[in-house]
Amino acid sequence: MKIGVFATFMSPHATPQMIREFGHRAEAAGVESIWMGEHVVLFDEMEFPYPGSRDGRIPVPEGGGMLDTLTTFGMLAGVTEKLRFGTGIALVPQRNPIYTAKELATLDWLSGGRMDFGIGVGWCKEEVIACGYSWEDRGERCDEFLETMINLWTEPVASFEGRHVQLAPCRMDPKPIQKPHVPIIVGGHGAPSLRRAARFGSGWYGFALDVPATAAVLERLDRALADAGRSREGFEIVITPISTTAEDIEGFRSLGVDRLVVQLGSQKPERVERRLDELGALVKTAA
């Protein structure tokens, strides 16, 4: 089982030096991948609370904020050789699909084929609206955007005609190094997300789950894959676990989980130091 780390780098702790050193040390420890979450703006008041914290708000340092995912991966790719990089998750319905396709293809090209495109529809209504899109139809828009990006990555001359995208025949190069394109890892536990994973995904990403919860979602995922004429063969299961005891590791392994992406937690230097040691030990346990 592969071990990755989920690191939502935030200023002021995530300085250029810290990120470079983290990339070097994570790679040396045998960590397989680094994953980052995405939010371009944050709000003091939100209709729907953030599901990953007790108070419903994204925890950021005073006066700080989240670094841009793809820009940070570009920096990390330049100072590492083997680490993969995953968006966990890219908020596709609020992104321009043409620019996103170009950014991912360029990063895959420059990194030697080390990108994974974790995707989802997001939970923050205010952020979607701030980016110029509507909230209620974000699922439909996500699917059209994915189709558009796949066409741009795989077709010499790409085009798309839909409700949300009208793309006249055009060329986008370079293509991703990975074939047929950058792997799409679909996040989310609901039925629409699982159907999207079965339709578009090279894999599925479950966040903040234990072994029993993962097993329950995988049962529904297997049904969605079967409905799409697919199976889990060649389909990657990625989990960010809430616990990584030896018993947990064996439980996830028995379910066929391919990659555990473990939360980094605090980015204060002394905590990162301890966490990297823990990750190195976890890599050995999971091998």
Q: For the segment 161-182, what is each residue's pLDDT rounded down to a tens digit? A: 999 999 999 999 999 999 999 9
Does residue 52 carry a pLDDT above 80?
no
Q: Is the pLDDT of residue 196 over 90?
A: yes
Q: What global pTM score does this model have?
A: 0.95
Q: Quick check: 57 pLDDT over 90?
A: no
Tokens of 75: 């920096």
Both structure tokens of 30: 């045998």
Question: Tokens at residue 70, please?
Answer: 């793809």
Query: 74-102 pLDDT, tens per residue?
Result: 999 999 999 999 999 999 999 999 999 99
Q: What is the mean pLDDT of residues 39-51?
A: 91
pLDDT, mean over the chain: 95
pLDDT of residue 8: 87
DSSP per-residue codes, 16-34: HHHHHHHHHHHHHTT--EE
Residues 6+ apart with CB under 8 A from 203: 183, 184, 185, 186, 197, 235, 236, 237, 238, 258
Domains of the chain by residue range: 89-182
Instruction: Please say if the pLDDT value at position 158 is more than 90.
Output: yes
Q: Report the share of the chain in percent with pLDDT over 70.
A: 100
189, pLDDT greater than 90: yes
Residue 51 pLDDT grade (very low, low, confident, very high; cuts 50, 70, 90): confident
Between the two ends of the chain, the Cα-to-Cα distance in Å is: 6
Give the model confidence (pLDDT) of 235-280 as tens digits.
999 999 999 999 999 999 999 999 999 999 888 888 888 899 999 9
